[in-house]
Amino acid sequence: MMFNPTDLLRPHLKQLVPYSSARDDYKGKDGVFLDANENPIGSITEENWNRYPDPYQLELKAKLAEIKGVNAEQIFLGNGSDEPIDLLYRAFCEPQTDEVIINPPTYGMYKVSADINNVKAKEVLLTNQYDLDSQALLSAIQPNTKIIWICSPNNPTGNDVSLEKIEIILKGFQGLVVVDEAYIDFADRPSFTTRLNEFPNLIVLQTMSKAWGLASLRLGMAFCSPEIVAILNRIKPPYNLSGLTQRTVLNALNNLEKKDQMVAEILENREGLQNELEALEIVKRVYPTDSNFYLVKMKDAKEVYLKLIEKQVILRDRSKVVLCEDGIRITIGTKKENKKLIEELKKLSN
């Protein structure tokens, strides 16, 4: 049977007439534009932002397609990854009827977005090694299961889950499989974007918020079949990416070496930090990481977290998260920041 994402769509969206923007009706670049009620004179800012941006970000997608080795038609761009996460619920999950599956401990937005959309998120815990439990996952699938959310490298545990198990899910599930690769630049493996043509039910999420250093600009990427892109385009807010973001990122894509340099520096700092953490008396375990943070289990984690805040070193307390008891998530900082972190942790050990 051919996989067709339209079969999974919420019924009322099959008839949806999407908003038609002025930029949909006329696509030429030159002319006297009296069609969108914009300010014809300019902006109150030094630079002019008075014209609505391209709703489909075609220039940016063309450039990203080259860099990522996918077709431009396989790219959806959102206001952070949080936007495609929400849009996937709104497109495919009927409130109080459909279900998704998440694998705690994992990124919190899959559950929050499910709650906001009044959709049940069934939980299948990761194993004790923080890997997917593919057998339990497959058994949890119901006829009304629409999406399985997989985060790899996983937040907050830091590790890649096993790629063979992701494949088992992609092959064994007739709904959508999202692989969130927010931390892919720090992992030593090819992206699942290289498998898009094999799996029509695959959606790969990436973001400019981490390795690219653009958290404030808000740019999330979903790579998937052109059919799924078309569905997301129909329900998204028309101008979801600002002109400022589009232009800034387009310029930044000519500066790829800087991203690579930053990633290399963070990876170097990551390696150095592991031994220093492991040498501390209060540290019970540093988990292996494929991302830009460590999950560290400590004695009295909550206490450590609070003590470090007093020293203005802010960590992420995960000690109340399932399977993360005593866990603190530590982002890899600069050399200087990491030094400060270790100094303060040493003082606590004494």
Ligand X SMILES: *Cc1c(COP(=O)(O)O)cnc(C)c1O
User: For ligand X, which stretch binds (CB under 6 A), given 78-86, 127-135, 270-278, 318-326?
Assistant: 78-86
Chain positions 219 to 238 lying near ligand X, rule: CB under 6 A, are: 220
Angstrom CA distances, 290 to 136, 156, 165, 322, stand at 24, 11, 17, 20
294 scored as a contact of ligand X (CB under 6 A):
no
151 scored as a contact of ligand X (CB under 6 A):
yes
Size of the site for ligand X (CB under 6 A): 13
DSSP string computed for 110-174: HHHHHHHTT-EEEE----TTS---HHHHHHH--TTEEEEEEESSPTTT-PPPPHHHHHHHHHH-S
* Strand ranges across the sheet with 176-180: 75-78, 220-223, 202-207, 176-180, 145-151, 99-102, 120-123
Q: How far is the CB of 279 from ligand X (least distance, A)?
A: 28
User: For ligand X, which stretch binds (CB under 6 A), given 79-87, 255-263, 273-281, 324-332?
Assistant: 79-87
Pick 215 or 264: Cβ nearer ligand X: 215
Q: How far is the CB of 25 from ligand X (least distance, A)?
A: 31
DSSP string computed for 295-312: EEEETTHHHHHHHHHHTT
* 8 Å CB contact between 84 and 232: yes
- For ligand X, the binding residue among 74, 155, 193, 240 (CB under 6 A) is 155
- For ligand X, the binding residue among 82, 131, 167, 344 (CB under 6 A) is 82
User: Which residues contact residue 11 at a Cβ distance below 8 angstroms, ignoring those fewer than 6 apart?
Assistant: 94
Q: How far is the CB of 215 from ligand X (least distance, A)?
A: 6
Q: Which residue is nearest to ligand X (CB)?
A: 80
User: For ligand X, which stretch binds (CB under 6 A), given 141-149, 187-195, 205-213, 272-280?
Assistant: 205-213
321 scored as a contact of ligand X (CB under 6 A):
no
- For ligand X, the binding residue among 207, 240, 245, 338 (CB under 6 A) is 207
Name which of 290, 284, 292 is nearest 345 in CA terms: 284
Tokens of 84: 């495609």
- For ligand X, the binding residue among 215, 264, 306, 322 (CB under 6 A) is 215
209 scored as a contact of ligand X (CB under 6 A):
yes
Distance between CA 133 and CA 203 in Å, rounded?
A: 20
77 scored as a contact of ligand X (CB under 6 A):
no
Chain positions 249 to 278 lying near ligand X, rule: CB under 6 A, are: none
107 scored as a contact of ligand X (CB under 6 A):
yes
Distance between CA 138 and CA 127 in Å, rounded?
A: 14
Pick 202 or 345: Cβ nearer ligand X: 202
Distance between CA 237 and CA 83 in Å, rounded?
A: 10
Pick 55 or 78: Cβ nearer ligand X: 78
Distance between CA 89 and CA 148 in Å, rounded?
A: 11
User: Which residues contact residue 59 at a Cβ distance below 8 angstroms, ignoring those fewer than 6 apart?
Assistant: 246, 250
- For ligand X, the binding residue among 86, 98, 180, 185 (CB under 6 A) is 180
Phi/psi at 221 (5° precision)? -125, 135
Tokens of 54: 């391209």
158 scored as a contact of ligand X (CB under 6 A):
no
Pick 137 or 204: Cβ nearer ligand X: 204
Distance of CA 125 to the CA centre of its chain: 20
Q: How far is the CB of 151 from ligand X (least distance, A)?
A: 5
Pick 74 or 209: Cβ nearer ligand X: 209
Distance between CA 104 and CA 114 in Å, rounded?
A: 14
Point out which residues bind ligand X (CB under 6 A).
80-82, 107, 151, 155, 180, 182, 207, 209-210, 215, 220
